[in-house]
Amino acid sequence: MTAEEFLEGQILLIDKPLHWTSFQAVNKLKYALINKLGLPKKFKIGHAGTLDPLATGLLLVCTGKFTKRITELQGQAKEYTGTFHIGATTPSYDLETEINQTFPTEHIDEALIHETVTQFLGEIDQKPPIYSAIKKDGVRLYEHARAGETIEIAFRKTTIHEFEITRIALPEIDFRVVCSKGTYIRSLAFDFGKAMNSGSHLTVLRRTKIGDYDVNEAIDVTAFEDSLEANV
């Protein structure tokens, strides 16, 4: 692909690695395009939907004129797979923080798990995690959390289109979820445990689809850089 094609506009399907921020992934692509294809330093590039550092999977990166499509792409339904750990919670609802509370799990069986799934289908009220980038009073929630401050977080409407349990091996439960923009799977993990009169946190998360775009068609950052080398 030529420099002109990237400037005209492309949608790149990137498989974001574990521990990378979405910003780091975009920056890596940006400087690869600048250094290897000679794109101007101020060319437009951005992603259509953040993935947490502890999540892997599909990141849509738009270049050139296609950056105008970012809002449209962000609004599309997203599919995730991952794992809930039942019987314990963390302040961040995932592995970013240590376990802060444990709960009984003896009463949990397959019937209760599948029955609980039905409570989360359709439009639901969800509270974003305190460890998130949402701003309150001009400050990101995770900054309040790291400062040890208690913040009141408002519920938000979100929609769970599909919610499937794919493996039960307590304390682990694997899942597949299709949801609307703005859904926090970490919050879903926390709320799911609570609904079973226990606790839960997210230990694995992978974004597999955004609209019709599939992670199976995505490329990792290093392979993308190598593909540019081949074009030079």
C-beta separation of 53 from 60 below 8 A: no
pLDDT exceeds 90 at position 146 = no
Q: What pLDDT, in 10s, does the model give residues 46-90?
A: 999 889 899 999 999 999 999 999 999 999 999 999 999 999 999
Q: What pLDDT, in 10s, does the model give residues 180-221?
A: 998 999 999 999 999 999 999 999 999 999 999 999 999 999
- The structure tokens listed for 130 are 């305190």
Give the global pTM.
Answer: 0.91
Residue 122: partners with Cβ closer than 8 Å, 6 or more residues away: 159, 160
Is position 125 annotated as part of the catalytic site?
no
CA angle, 120 then 126 then 130, to 5°: 135
Distance between first and last Cα of the chain: 10
CA angle, 159 then 165 then 166, to 5°: 130
Q: What pLDDT, in 10s, does the model give residues 8-22?
A: 999 999 999 999 999
- Which of the following is catalytic: 52, 109, 137, 220? 52
Which pLDDT belongs to residue 143? 66
Q: What pLDDT, in 10s, does the model give residues 87-138?
A: 999 999 999 999 999 999 999 999 999 999 999 999 999 988 876 666 666 6
Residue 1 pLDDT level (bands cut at 50, 70, 90): confident
